[in-house]
Structure 1
Amino acid sequence: MLLSLPPGHFRAYLFDCDGTIADSMPLHYAAWRSALDEWGCEFPEDLFYAWGGRPVADIVATLNERHGLAMPVDTVARRREALYQRSLPELTAVPEVLAHIEDAHGRYPFAVVSGSTRESVTASLTTLGLLDRFDVLVCAGDYARAKPDPEAFLVAARLLGVPPESCLVFEDTDLGIAAATAAGMASVRVPQPAERAVTGLL
């Protein structure tokens, strides 16, 4: 089953990375759980998916507030990243998104727009052999306001030299879809792992 694209004449494709290009969300969640267990911090799976698209530092800070903890943000973020990098040999691409990347590469400019660090995004795309497909990477630290704010998508459109209304966004989270809509961009919703299993996309 292929992802259906909305009607329109698009001049650029913008992709989230984790859960959209890379089927990495289960690996990221395992890394989060291991890193946070060292501090006795709970992070339920449903909350992890609900917060998809938020920067790592923002998640750690919010968990500190929720649980009355004082986890050092940088330390936890580095530990989580190290654990994720260790799991990269298990990483695969989302087949339906990969099909669109292969089909449209060379016909449209591509950007990745992610809440993850550039280190994490680069590692994922390199593992999948896809890094050279993308003209622009917009990652955590490249913008001030995270999704659902449209800033990251607008930065990518500006770097590609394409008007926002001519960009098509591929996203797997509610925050990402909301950000694309706020940017004036059409979007394609990529089902999350559990949804793909139910609908037969896996």
Structure 2
Amino acid sequence: MKLKLPEGQFKAYLFDCDGTIADSMPLHYIAWKKALGEWGCDFDEDLFYAWGGLSVAKIISTLNEQRGLNMPVAEVEHRKESLYYDLLPQLTAVPEVLEHIEAQYGRIPFAVVSGSTRESVTASLAALHLLDRFETMVCAGDYKKGKPDPEIFLLAAERLGVAPQDCLVFEDAELGIQGATAAGMASVRVPLPHERAVALK
């Protein structure tokens, strides 16, 4: 299965990390289920994917509000992240995206635009031996408004010195696609794990 890129001569690529560069969403979901389960909080898989692009802290806070829970955000965030780090040896790259990273590396600059923490993104990219491919990373804590707000994408373009209309965004989550569009950037949607599995059959 190949990703069909939009027409145009792009001067920079902006990549979400989880589910886009790293095939990490199934591993993140395992970590989420265990961390939240310890507080008696269920987390449906469809909701997990629908909330792709939100920060860990935002997800915990929203679950607290919606379910009338009082989970300590920082503690649960730390627990979830540590559970994910334990699963890193199983991590693989998304082949359809890796192909474009390898084809354009050294020709145009790359940035990571992620709702995950810098520590989590760094750990994932290091595990995949891809950390040195990116000029800059914009992660949770670097911006005020998360996806679908365009701030994260505009900040990455500014750091790379490339106009928004000259950037192409790779994203697996609808919130990310919306944010890229709001930033005036073209985007390509990376299929979710189950969609890629179906395409391979």
Instruction: Give the TM-score band, short-chain normalised.
Output: over 0.9
Deviation, 1:77, is 0.2
Structure-1 residue corresponding to 2:74: 74
* Separation of aligned partners in 2, 1:148 and 1:196: 24
Q: Structure 2 CA distance, aligned partners of 1:92 and 1:10?
A: 27
Q: Residue in 2 aligned with 1:46?
A: 46
Which residue of the partner structure matches residue 145 of structure 1?
145
User: What are the Cα deviations for residues 147-193 of structure 1, in whole angstroms up to 9, with x where unaligned?
Assistant: 00000000000000000000000000000000000000000100000
Residue equivalent to 1:106: 106
> CA–CA distance in 2 between the matches of 1:150 and 1:44?
27
SS of aligned partner of 2:169: strand
Aligned equivalent of 1:64? 64
* Deviation, structure 1 residue 105: 0.1
Q: Which consecutive aligned stretches of 4+ in structure 1 deviate over 3 angstroms post-superposition?
A: none
Which residue is 2:135 aligned to?
Answer: 135
**Residues 86-140 of structure 1: CA distance to partner in whole angstroms, max 9, x if unpaired?**
0000000000100000000000100000000000000000000000000000000
After superposition, where does 1:1-202 map in structure 2 within 5 Å? 1-200=1-200
Query: TM-score, normalised on structure 2?
Result: 0.99
Deviation, structure 1 residue 9: 1.3
- Aligned-partner SS, 2:137: strand
- Tell me by how many angstroms 1:13 deviates: 0.2
Aligned-partner Cα distance in 2 for 1:3–1:37: 36
Deviation at 1:65, TM superposition (A): 0.7
The Cα of 1:85 is off from its aligned counterpart by 0.2
Distance 1:4 1:107 in 2: 19
Partners of 2:172 and 2:67 in 1: how far apart? 27
The Cα of 1:10 is off from its aligned counterpart by: 0.6
The structural deviation recorded for 1:70 is: 0.4
Query: Percent identity at matched positions?
Result: 71
How far the C-alpha of 1:4 sits from its partner, in A, is 1.1
User: 5+ residue gaps in structure 2?
Assistant: none
Counterpart-to-counterpart distance in 2, 1:172 and 1:136:
20
How many residues of Structure 1 are paired with residues of Structure 2 in the alignment?
201
Structure 1: how far apart are the matches of 2:136 and 2:4? Answer: 24
| Partners of 1:84 and 1:18 in 2: CA distance | 12
TM-score by length of 1: 0.99
- Provide the secondary structure at the position in 1 that maps to 2:60: helix
Unaligned runs of 5+ in 1: none
Aligned residues: CA RMSD: 0.7
Q: Partner letter of residue 36 of structure 2?
A: L
